[in-house]
Amino acid sequence: MKIHRALPTLVLLVLAALGCELADEEPPIRIGATMSQTGAYSTQGIPARNGYLLCQDHTNAEGGLLGRDIEFVIHDDQSETDTAIALYEQLIEEEQVDGVMGPYGSTLTEAVAPVTERHRMVHVSPLAATTSIWEQGREYLFMVLPPAELFLAGLIEMGAEHGYGTVAVISEDQLFPLAAAEGAAALAEERGMEVAFQATYASGTEDFSHILQEVDDAGVEVLAMAASALDDFQTVTRQMEAQDVNPQMFGTSGAVSEFQEELGELAEYVFGLSAWEPSLPNPGIDQFVESYREAFGQEPSFHAAGAYGSCQLFVEAAERAGTLDSDALRSQLLEMETTTVFGDYAVDERGYQVANQGVFVQWQDGEKAVVWPEELATAAPRIPMPRWDQR
């Protein structure tokens, strides 16, 4: 009987102990973001979302941040600026997240930066590269990618080294592509190359035949293309083959596996900027690649690595600061010089990236080969491109 009378007391003690333990547990640090999971930027946005989520899992497995787990709250901005703006307002004001991270791309970053600035929240931008975004006196915005003006630099440098003298630049009429195009044209002129023409096209364009005819008529040797919508690169490549337009080099401002998977042999010899590749000597890169493959069943793109590395920067800054206070985080991010899975990080007083230049790849035998800069190359560039009718 004594045992039976003691049971309720024992149960109460156990429940009380569990209640104290649960009360002592800190809630997770909630980090809000949008990513383009549908719409024109979904090819880039989905792997970037995956990069955030993988960093969340790895951070928590290593003990979390400031003694707490982190939890990403990621909404789909549908690749639309108005949607992204509304969602960041919702994350900050209604959902009251503890921190924010950036969306995909320069266009959406430019749109939401006034929101994060107004709320004085540190905003690490994983995948925005347009210099003008960092020339407006913003205090809490931090750049991780190489500047947009350098996104086609590798193509121009290789073209100049091979003695080519005529360049044409095609760009989508969006913030990032226009900046990348201007950078390519300026560098070509610095290298003594003739910029035969620059052509800008509206987003959603499907027929590039008139531009490609101009490329052919001008005898362009190096054709550079900048776009936010990666389908445009595939469309132009197909139309170059159909019109038998044959520059010596053709390169784009973004190289992802979907390009080769869609085009097959037509992708051979095409160059593209990659801000990251798994062959780079960055700390933790092998574990990241293996974990990404296991979690998502595919190879990580530079968009995935950019988001993962940006999350690493937020975590490191908070650990150094010992707090989530925005001004303390800002001070750390301004001072930090480090290397993440994504690459080198250091910024100037604007939060503008000064340490990362990216790499240029070429599709060779169905695979991406790093061909520039020479010190990071895994293969020599194959120049010139064979004529379409000789492949």
DSSP letters spanning 4-40: HHHHHHHHHHHHHHHHHHHHHSPPPEEEEEEE-SSST
Model pLDDT, residue 256? 81
| Distance between CA atoms of residues 214 and 203, nearest Å | 20
DSSP 71: E
Same domain, 226 and 363: yes
6 falls within a domain: no
* Residue 230: predicted pLDDT: 82
CB atoms within 10 A of CB 92: 18
80 and 218 co-located in one domain: no
CATH number, domain of 230, equals 3.40.50.2300
Q: Is residue 180 part of a domain?
A: yes
Task: Say if 45 falls within a structural domain.
Answer: yes
CA dist 225 and 43 (Å) reads: 18
Beta bridge partners of 166: 194
Q: Are 360 and 370 in contact (CB under 8 A)?
A: yes
Do 200 and 179 fall within a single domain? yes
- H or E stretch covering 273: strand 271-274
Residue 3 is predicted with a pLDDT of 37
pTM over 0.75: yes
Residues 262 and 323 in one domain: no
Q: Check: CB of residue 352 under 8 Å from CB of residue 131.
A: yes
Residues 305 and 203 in one domain: no
Same domain, 110 and 64: yes
Distance (Å) of CA 10 to CA 22, 141, 201: 18, 55, 75
Q: Is residue 291 part of a domain?
A: no
Please indicate, yes or no, if residue 323 is contained in any of the structural domains.
yes
Residue 39: give the domain boundaries.
29-147+301-345
Q: Are 275 and 174 found together in one domain?
A: yes
> Rounded to whole angstroms, what are the CA distances from 193 to 55, 164, 165, 166?
43, 7, 5, 6
Given CA atoms 162, 163, 168, 173 in this order, what sign does their dihedral have?
positive
Strands 359-364 and 367-372: antiparallel
Residues 40 and 80 in one domain: yes
From residue 41, how far is each of 77, 98, 108, 150, 335 by CA, in Å? 10, 26, 10, 21, 32
Same structural domain, 218 and 273: yes
Tens place of pLDDT for every residue, the chain, 391 residues? 333 444 444 444 444 444 444 435 789 999 999 999 999 999 999 999 999 999 999 999 999 999 999 999 999 999 999 999 999 999 999 999 999 999 999 999 999 999 999 999 999 999 999 999 999 999 999 999 999 999 999 999 999 999 999 999 999 999 999 999 999 999 999 999 999 999 999 999 999 999 999 999 999 999 999 998 889 999 999 999 999 999 999 999 988 888 999 999 999 999 999 989 999 999 999 999 999 999 999 999 999 999 999 999 999 999 999 999 999 999 999 999 999 999 999 999 999 999 998 899 999 999 999 999 999 999 999 999 999 988 8
Count: domains in the chain: 2
> Both 324 and 245 in a single domain?
no
